[in-house]
Chains A and B, each alone.
Chain A
Amino acid sequence: MSSAFEKSWTGYLRADGRKGIRNLVLVIYTVECAQHVAHAIARDEENVQVIGFPGCYDNQYAIRLVMALARHPNVGAVLSVGLGCEYVQPARIAEVVRASGRPAEGFFIQELGGTRAAIAHGKEIVRRLGAEIDATVPRVPMGFADLTIGCECGGSDGTSGLAGNPTVGRFYDKLVDRGGRAIFEEIVEMIGLRDVLSTRAADATTRADVEAAYDKAEAYCRAVRQFSVSPGNFAGGLTTIEEKSMGAFAKSGSRPIQGVIKVGQAPAHAGLWLMDSVPDPHFMSFGYTNPNDTEGIMDLASGGSQIVLFVTGRGSVIGSPIAPLVKITGNSHTFAHMQEDMDFDAGRVLSGEMSLDAAAESLADLVFRVAAGAPSKPEALGHHEYFVMYKYQDPPRRACRL
């Protein structure tokens, strides 16, 4: 029997050489005041998604995040919608996106005379952009070596570290062995694992980067007195952040960590990469590091992940606007109880129904189907939650692809 990892499908080629599994028009609003208009533009339109900036002020971290998403492999075109007073400029977003080889436009609502006029104008633009990319973006063969996959976990329980995350870990090993890129993050869920993390680094430079990222995350959690563990985790049998961390870390598999990337930065080459999303020292001290699951999914998408895997034990009902979210649970009760939201039952590993290798193969087949165009469960339900956080991070040191 041939491996699911050998499968190929048709994708969308971008000017930078990366390949997408969707051909989306992305509407980006530049301040919360434009949020209603942006969503009204996208409503009932096919292949149009929305993200936006909550604040009026510009924040370099948030701009880096959004600009990485605006030039994501799954995005074919961008419309940026502003109110007219804010710092972040729709015209500059459109200009940078056009330079990446994608059609892009932007406008201010104030200049169009208000809500209805702006919605009508925006709808005309997204339909035109959609038709343009549908007609012009080259279709190319695509396989697992062309994929970057992110993985986040949320609503973990005692099964997550036994089945859900280990299944992704085995999938990651096989993906990386075939030339794909795998990103994991949530260093705040690796508390107590400094030595384990360090030994996984591919070289001395990466080892120093991994240790520095770990030390920053641990110090940050202690300082804000908040660790990334929640009542649902405790109720699901996880007693401490250390226990949750060991389970969460299992999603990284066993291959060496090639490097530490920051939010908005894509892996430079094939292999497993650790994403650091914890704020760097700054006088504004931007609060909690990773306040919710959606924030982490956005980070992973900003690294170029065409699909993000989401491992849960307790259950979850979120999606993702740019990179389809695929939901995996290691808890077969949760799979049965929340079947309309769950894509994959890794609890079959615990019941002895399948081996970890078989589960990884089966997951690869699901990833193949979603990559080939089948909607994941959250996509089919219309979930496309997003969250653009304002933080401070030093600009990435390593050369990145974006």
Chain B
Amino acid sequence: MQAFRIHADDNVATLLGDVVPGPVQIGGEGDLHSIAVLEEIQLGHKVALQDIAAGTPIRKFGTTIGEATRAIRAGEWVHLHNCKSRYDARSETLDLHSGATTDMSYE
């Protein structure tokens, strides 16, 4: 098992180790047991288990954890570049890789 789907309603799974493009085994809840991952994704990050339309909920733990900001293909990395918080307004200003904010002046 290389990725874990917490709830059968989830449209993402969490990676249990770093993965490269190719088939990845999925454990946990639901009937999907494998997904073709399209890019490198790191431990703890999420992969889309199905095509997700822009503006629709990202679901993990059986609950909505955010909203797709653009269309996401099955097998894509789901993170700051394609998913935003429904609460935290700064969520769309973050650097994709470091998570650092970009809306604060250090001058």
- Chain A residues with a Cβ under 8 A of chain B: 157-159, 161-162, 191-193, 196, 218, 221-222, 225-227, 229-243, 246-247, 313, 331, 333, 350-352
Contact = CB atoms under 8 A, between A and B. Distances in A.
B15 A158 contact: yes
Given A196-B63, A351-B16, 11 more contacts: A162-B6, A162-B14, A221-B87, A231-B94, A236-B44, A239-B46, A240-B84, A240-B87, A240-B88, A241-B91, A246-B60
Contacts of B53: none
Nearest to B89: A225
A246 B63 contact: yes
B61 A246 contact: yes
Nearest to A314: B44
Contacts of B97: 235
A191 B86 CA distance: 10
B87 A227 contact: yes
Contacts of B4: 162, 350
B44 A240 contact: no
B43 A159 contact: yes
B44 A239 contact: no
A274 to B, nearest CB: 19
B95 to A, nearest CB: 8
B66 A243 contact: yes
Contacts of B99: 230-235
Contact of B43 (A196, A218, A237, A246): A237
18 contacts: A158-B46, A159-B44, A191-B87, A192-B65, A218-B87, A221-B88, A230-B99, A231-B99, A232-B99, A240-B86, A240-B88, A241-B88, A242-B64, A242-B65, A243-B60, A243-B66, A246-B60, A331-B43
9 A-B pairs with the lowest CB-CB distances in the bound complex, closest first? A158-B44, A234-B99, A237-B44, A237-B45, A231-B99, A243-B65, A240-B85, A246-B61, A240-B66
Contacts of A238: 44
A236 B98 CA distance: 9
A226 B91 CA distance: 10
B79 interface: yes
A238 B97 CA distance: 11
Contacts of B87: 191-192, 218, 221-222, 227, 240-242
A182 B58 CA distance: 32
Interface residues of B, number: 37
Given A230-B99, A243-B65, A246-B63, A352 B1 contact: yes
Contact of A350 (B16, B64, B84, B86): B16
A240 B43 contact: no
B80 interface: yes
Given A192-B63, A246-B60, A231 B44 contact: no
A237 to B, nearest CB: 3
Contacts of A222: 87
Nearest to B60: A243
Contact of B100 (A231, A239, A242, A333): A231
B90 interface: yes
A238 B60 CA distance: 11
Given A231-B98, A313-B44, A333-B43, A240 B83 contact: yes
B35 interface: no
B49 interface: no
B26 interface: no
Contact of A237 (B15, B61, B88, B91): B15
B101 interface: yes
Contact of B65 (A159, A227, A233, A239): A239
Interface in B48-85: 58, 60-61, 63-66, 78-80, 83-85
Given A162-B14, A231-B100, A240 B65 contact: yes
